[in-house]
Amino acid sequence: MLTSIEKLSIKILKEMPSNYALLAPLLFVLIITGISAVQILDCKNGETYDENIYKKCPKGFIGSLCTTEKTGLCADGDSANSQSIILITFGSGNQAYSNKTAEEFNFTTSYTQSLEDQITYNTFVFVNKVPAVNEWHSGASDYTTDDTDGYMLLVNVGEKDEYIFKYQVSNLCIGLRYEFSAYLANVMVENSEASGDSDDSTIKIIFRVKQVSEAKESETVVKKTDDISAYENMIWEKHGLSFVAQATDAVLLLDSKVNGNPRFIAIDDIKLRVCSANRSVSVLPSKYF
């Protein structure tokens, strides 16, 4: 009688594409030694991809794995067990303002860093509590769990068309779907004089992923958030997009632009992860900041 491990091995081998056959011995070793076999994924990133590979997919699907052509976040269970490739939480410390720079977290920005309460248009600070400003959520903490005095990125979005966050990532697996997300919060108190009209206090953030492949021209996936509204208490909400990698390299961007009154947005836990609960992939070492 076959053991459960043997049954699992046979099942996986039967479902394995023919071009994975050479991996069969290694796969069996991984199974019997308790290492997750689903970590094996031939990205085929070394092959030349032309447009024909994308034309083979049914309408509404894209990529070498023909996944759905959507831009929203992954389903709740689809990324719950996947490892973060990038996770930026901005560190922690007992000083109100962190003097670490964006470059130390491996991203760039068009905004100017401030180290004091004067957060003017197109400037940002790393703070571990929302500053004591009239009718803000003064003293509110960052989003990151189990992170005493954790810092968040607080931005005064201005009128210039500039980017808040830009991060270059390499070694993506072509055809696999990824999720680019962040937690966002409006630091103004709902119905306060500072927030004024609802149109004066709400803000939208735009998530962008730019990819350049040999087979296609530069492609940008864009997702604009709904209004990040002011509430009675400061509420962190997850926003972002998902995309199918059509190149091994991509640029992740967050930007926004407003007219009129200043809009202040808090950002934390910027993350890139694979949209899969049962498959992982080798990429550059995970980065946690």
Please check the confidence at residue 37 and state whether its pLDDT lies above 60: no
Question: Which among 209, 216, 206, 214 is positioned nearest to 180, based on CA atoms?
Answer: 209
Who has greater pLDDT, 257 or 172? 172
Give the pLDDT confidence of 1-34 residue by residue, as tens digits: 544 444 444 444 454 444 444 444 433 333 333 3
Give the pLDDT confidence of 234-257 residue by residue, as tens digits: 999 999 999 999 889 999 999 987
Mean pLDDT of the chain: 74
Q: Determine the average pLDDT of the residues in 171-177.
A: 90
Please check the confidence at residue 88 and state whether its pLDDT lies above 80: yes
pLDDT on residue 141:
96
pLDDT on residue 77:
54
pLDDT on residue 102:
97
Please check the confidence at residue 125 and state whether its pLDDT lies above 60: yes
pLDDT on residue 17:
47
Q: Quick one: pLDDT band at residue 118, thresholds 50, 70, 90?
A: confident
Task: Give the least confident one: 67-81, 83-97, 250-264.
Answer: 67-81
Q: Which domains does the chain have, with CATH numbers?
A: 1-40 (no CATH), 68-288 (2.60.120.260)
pLDDT on residue 219:
78
Q: Quick one: pLDDT band at residue 54, thresholds 50, 70, 90?
A: very low
62 bridge partner residues = 67
Angle at CA 177, nearest 5°, toward 277 and 207? 115
- Would you say the pTM of this structure is higher than 0.85? no
Q: Determine the average pLDDT of the residues in 76-96.
A: 81
Give the pLDDT confidence of 129-159 residue by residue, as tens digits: 999 988 899 999 999 998 899 999 999 987 7
